[in-house]
Each structure stands twice: as C-alpha cells, then as structure tokens.
Structure 1
Amino acid sequence: MSAAYPHISPQKLHPLVLSILLASGPSVALDTGSITASVLSPDCLEYKVVGICFWLLCTPFGCTVKTSTKIRHFIPELVVSSYATTGANPWTEMATLSSPISGAEGGGNLITPNTQRDNLPRFKNVDAIGHPGGWAATQLASQSGYACASGATAFIPYYLSTWDSLAWRHGIPESLYPESLVPGIREIGRQLAGNMWGNVYPRQGFLVQPDDFKAAAVMAQRAGDVITRNWQPHVYVPLTPVPRDGYWPPGPIVENDASTHKWQLLSPVVQPTCAIFPSDPVQSADGGYAWSLWRPYSCCKREGQTFLFSIDFEGGAS
C-alpha cells in the first residue's frame, strides 16, 4: 500500500485496514472484512503519475501559477454479486437487501447437469453495492493529493435485480432493441477468437450458456453496463460521477475494453489480480459469484483558486 500511495506513511494506513478487518471478524465466507482486504492489490490499482496540472493562485500581493502532479489509478467502486438463488447474495452481510419480494420470488438455474440440455437458459440475480474498502481507502488517501476519491459510496445499493423484475426477469423493453436482435453487436469476447461468452443485450438475468461462471460474469457485466450510464430503462442508482476542476472520473464501462474497467474475483475465491471478461473460470458449488468492479480515475491536488489546464506526459491537454 505504501508503494501505491507515495509519501503516505504505511504506519498510518495499516492500522486503518487492520481495525476494519478486526471489527468485521474472521473471514469464513465473503464478508466485509475480506472485501476490504482485497483492495491491497497493486495489479488492480495500477497507480501511475500521468501528467501535471496548472493552477492560478492569487493573494493580495499578486497572482502566480502553481503546479501539482496528475495521477491515475483504478478504484474498486462496487461489489457485484451474481447468484442463482434469490436472497442468497454471497456477500453474507448484504443478503437481506435482496430477499424475495412480490414478482421476484423464484430463482435458480433452469438447466440440469445433463450435457444434452445445455441449450436451456441459466438465471442469475445481481446485486451491485458500494465497495467498503475502495471508499474507505480513497477517503483517507485523497486528502493528501496522492489519490483520487471514489465516486461511489460504501454500502449503497446501486442495483438490486429483485427491484428491477420487469427488465431483469422479463427483458422489457430491451429484448426488442437492435443490440438484442442482431448477432455480433455488444458481445463479451469475440466469435472469431472462440471465446464469446454472451451478449450484453438484453440486459436481463437469463442466458443460454453451459458454463455457470461465464453466465454469472455476463450478468455482472450487464448490470455494470446499466449502472455506469444515465437514463437506462431499469430501476437503479446511476454511478456516474461528475468531473470537476482537477478531477476526472471514469465514463461508462465497455465490454472487452480494459481501459474502462477491470473485474477482481471475490467469490468463490478472492483473487489478488484483475482482468476483463473473458477470464479464467472458477466454478462455484452453489452458483454464487462476486466481483469488485474497478474503474480508472485521474486527479491532481488543488493548488490555487482557478484550474488552468493539465498536460499529460503521453500527449494531450485538458
């Protein structure tokens, strides 16, 4: 952690992490403690100094131009759970948020282990909840100017598929969208590469996919696609942070594009690395999966009243 956030003392960060873990108790299943600990991943963080910001600082004695370092890194914003049995979110402490309600009581896959029946659809519920570790770490580190603040708030339910049953269980209205009807549009993976897992549209909970992990991943991608955009025909809270001087939050996630997002597997096992889908499948015994959704932020410390512009080392200005 100290390498990821230069000039921040490990003695200050480690007690915070330890106190959260101790307060959460030992990690037997996926719980807040294990989720918080998962943020200690340099591979997912991908911390970089990318440029310089210029500010105008004025005092009664005159004005001067000040500079600050522009940095870029990924932040785990959401814990996205994809699971078969309604009310059985793998993040145990949040499971009560998605208990069965009228219109969303049932759950479970429609297929059997019989390989001759792999043409039947699987179903997954999806919950997307504010990541506790990403929020806590960036709230602390962003005060120093050497990290960006997360646009997500810990424990806020940004999406619960049980509350979006018309779209998630019936595909209304997205089953009629061109992206749903025309092959080759908005696919996760590629047909030519032989690794196409499924289509993003319609963004619902059913998919014909013989591999349970791949089906769950497609559902997570669909939910993330909705949440990171405004005005979608779903019941959700948009996660679309607004840019401001010296702060550049990410845009919508795009499948197959690692510059817009990354996934870190949390359940059935916590992995220390991130990837986009398609990735290596890890099967769950109970059909429950969870990932951290990481997205890239850029920012620089305010050094004056007026932001002038920034220069990126790789070229370009903003």
Structure 2
Amino acid sequence: MAGDTAPHVVEDLLGVVQLLSDGSVVRGDESVLGPKEPLPDVPGVEWKDVVYHAAHGLRVRVYRPASSSGTGSVKLPVLVYFHGGGYCLGSFAQPPFHAFCLRSAAELPAVVLSVQYRLAPEHRLPAAIDDGAQFLSWLRCQAELGAGADPWLAESADFARTFISGVSAGANLAHHLTIQVATARLPVSPVRVVGYVLLSAFFGGAERTASEADPPAGVSLPVEICEQLWHMSLPVGASRDHPVANPFGSESPSLAPVELPPALVVAPLGDVLRDRVLGYAARLKDMGKDVELAEFEGQQHGFSVLQPFGQAADELMRVLRRFVYQGDTNAER
C-alpha cells in the first residue's frame, strides 16, 4: 500500500543534512566538512557559554581577554558575531568560528559574543533572524542590569560601542538585525550599535550574477550549493528574491531612508558571491551610507574561518581593529 512507503530522502546537503519526504530531518557529523587538523589555541582569552533563550535552549559564547577581568579594568567594545553555514549548517562551537572569535577577542581587543541560532530546514527563516533579535533583546536587558548583569559583561563590556557582525549566512543575519535596530523595530537602548561588519556575506537572487554564471576557478562555495541552501532555508515556496535573501529585490523595502550605522563589508574576490557583496556595498554607497569596502584578492568565501590563522585573516584582523576603534576619536558617529 502507498501509505506504507517508508520516508525517503528528498534533499541531501553535502551528505550531512537530509530532508525526508515526511518532513523530518536527519543530521550527520558536520566535522567531516571542517579542518582535518586541530586549530591552535589563542592564549590570554577566557570564554564561557551562557543561555540567552531558555525555551529554545540557545546559548551565546562569551569571550574576553583575561586582562579585562576585574572591576578596575578598561571596558571594551562588544562584537556580536553570527556563524555561517547557509542557515542550514554550522555551530558557534565549531573550531573555525571559535578560532576567529578567540583571535578577535585577543587582537582587537573586544568582548566577543558568538550567538547560537536555530537552523533550517527544521526551523526555516525567519527563525534564525528572530533568534538574533531575541539575543539583542537579552543583551539590552544585560545592559539595563548594570552591575547586576553577567559578571563578565558587567566588568568588561562597553555596551555603547556594540558592533553586529557575522560570516556568510551570519553576515546576512547581521544585515537584517542592523536594519531592525536602525528602523527602531528592535529597541536595544542602552546598547548602542555603532557599526556592523559583513564577512563574505551570503546574499541571493533569482537571477544569477556574472560571478555566479561564470564562477572563479576552484570556489569553496559553488553556486549550486548556494541555491540549495536557500531552497532549504527560505519559507516553502519562496524564491531567492525573498527579502531575506535579496535585500534589493522587488519585495524588499528600500534602504535609502534608513539611518544605518557605518558598515565594514569584506569581499573575497575569489568568491562566487563576489558580485552580490560588491553590489551591496556599491548600492549603499550610492545611497550616501558610510561603507568601508575591504577587498581580498584571490580569497575564497569564508576565508576568515576556512583559514583563521592565514595571512589574509591576519590582514582582516588589522582591518577589523581599525574599524572597531576608529569610533574612539569620533564617539558620536
């Protein structure tokens, strides 16, 4: 009988996420996609996990330089960070994202908050963005608590110098959260978002760009995988021009009237999504927004986590430090 047919695989993502015909999802071991060799530690950084959304069991990994502990220490800017994985893969605890956050905490220096969020296809978009908003609401509550906040944040975090950042899908998420804050849909005061950072941003669209139609050689993220990730993460039936994927699509509200904080857009030029990232920066600049574009010749999508201790990552740390600390001489920016 047809009703006795066992569930079968209808979508297979890199052999580690399988969507079955009955809507269930089977997840394998994502470590097969990660680095084969262990990544080095970064001395002088403390980290711990804190629950920010008990109902969903979501946590944030808090990093700070050990030298910033203690009530007499100078408070540091806050870098909120969302991991990548096309909204279907990844974890804040995976070694490449962990390594990037360790380096950021040590070298900027900063309090880094690496945020866990729910993944598709079990939790299709906008679930991840909703989780990010819940996190920023939690951070607002921490700022309101003052000395009663989590001790590490109370001692070390300057909430008035908060940056929203992410890599790949995490950069997409960072964009959408920044828009929510800038349009006052997401109240965060006394937290002040003074900038946002998009690393290898994961944007999409129904029509392929030139770099998607004729990709650079040896890309780390093929266009077919990009399209599969959007198919598995967007609401069922949505096209890649959905506002979450395409911030400049026909369904997306104009960003022209939005008073955005300064942006740092990092574009690896060996990325199949290069044209979307460059186009994002160009469109914002045309609107008169404050955008710094950092191009990395020959680098792949997600180079900051694919090779978190490589030469390009070293240069990225210098760019990121300059961007985060430029506000010290222009506090009202």
Q: TM-score under structure 1 normalisation?
A: 0.30
Q: Indicate the structure with greater helix content.
A: 2
With normalisation by structure 2, the TM-score equals 0.30
Which is greater in Rg?
A: 1
